[in-house]
Amino acid sequence: MMVFDQGEFFLLALVIFPLFLWSQRRQSIRHLIYRAVFYVYLAGVVSQTLFPITLDWEWGLVNKEHHLQLELFQYFVWREAWLNVLLTLPLGFLYPLISRHSWAKTLGLGVLTPVLIELTQFMLLYTTIDYYRVADVSDVFFNFWGVVLGYLIYRLLLGKSQRATP
């Protein structure tokens, strides 16, 4: 039973987006644009990394072991590595534009975000029958470096003087 796919997710995101804009009405236009771009980016990441979800429940990893990769670089593919870096590069660039940040906070986000994505993929893999995603520790590694690279680009282009207002 297909419950949620990318199209439905984007429709939901479009319904929630006006509420998001309304909640940010006291922000400057520039800050509002940064937050809107960040919101759309996050919706795209969730859509591409988790959906579609089919909820015909089956507990366990029977016949799914190949969807769980716990060894770093076990099935290394350059294209997948670069796509994982590119997936989170905007996170490293956009996060400092919308919040007070530090190098440590950004690195923490760089670890937390891919770990949450992979844990969610694992939970969906473990609890559903027809889930084709792969939970891979290598994705966490490359997603982390995407955030770091995005933050370095932010620092290079905007320098230390650019600070977001809370």
Number of alpha helices (DSSP H) and beta strands (DSSP E) in the chain:
5, 4
pLDDT at 145: 96
| Sign of the four-CA dihedral 43, 49, 55, 59 | negative
Q: Is the pTM higher than 0.85?
A: no
Instruction: Please give the chain's pLDDT, 166 residues, in tens.
Output: 445 566 666 666 777 777 777 777 777 888 888 888 888 888 888 877 877 766 665 555 555 555 666 666 666 678 888 999 999 999 999 999 988 888 899 889 999 999 999 888 888 777 776 667 777 888 999 999 999 999 999 999 986 655 544 4
pLDDT at 33: 84
Query: Residue 4's beta-bridge partner residues?
Result: 53
93: DSSP letter: H
Query: Residue 69's beta-bridge partner residues?
Result: 136
Task: Annotate 32-57 with DSSP letters as a single string.
Answer: HHHHHHHHHHHHHHHHHHH--EE--B
pLDDT at 78: 82
Going from N- to C-terminal start, the domains of the chain cover: 2-158
